Structures are given as structure tokens and as C-alpha cells.
Amino acid sequence: MQQFKTYILYSKSLDSFYIGYTGDDIRKRLAKHLGEHKGHTAKAKDWIIAYVENHDTKSAAMCREKQLKSWKNKKRIKAMIYEKTNE
């Protein structure tokens, strides 16, 4: 069964987060963000995976991505990442 992921990338040079979802391997997806392309993540080449959640369905991953993006609050995202990585 395919696993979907909601993920958060972080760029230190931009001090910025990028939130997305994928059905691909997370490392392959990161490589695409770091590769040559146009779009938000093309602005920097220092993206790292800051956070990943697994979901059973594409729709669940998409809903979580939408929820995280709706926060529009870097402080809240940092707090969630810190809390989840220190459980």
C-alpha cells in the first residue's frame, strides 16, 4: 500500500518553511526541490527536511498540508516541529 507524506522543509538562508505532500520517497522529493526547477523552493539550495507525517491516503496528506499552510505562522510551525521531535 502506498504511503503519503505531509512534510515541512526549512531553508536557513531564507529562514523560511515550505509545506507540501507527496506519495514519493521523501528523499527523492527533497532532491527534486534541490534540483533545477522554477518555483518557491528554487530560491535556495539549502532545504532540509524539518518534519514528516505519514498518512494512509492522498486526501489525508492533502488535508494536513492545507491545515498547516493555513496557520501562516512561523512560530506555530516551529513549536509543532519542536514538540513532535521531542516526544
| Residues 37-68 pLDDT 10s | 888 899 999 999 999 999 999 999 999 999 99
- Share the mean pLDDT of the chain: 92
Spatial neighbors of 69 by CB under 8 A, at least 6 apart, are 19
pLDDT of residue 72: 84
Question: What's the rounded Cα separation, in Å, for the pair 85 and 11?
Answer: 18
Question: For the domain 4-85, what is the CATH code?
Answer: 3.40.1440
Question: DSSP class of residue 40?
Answer: G
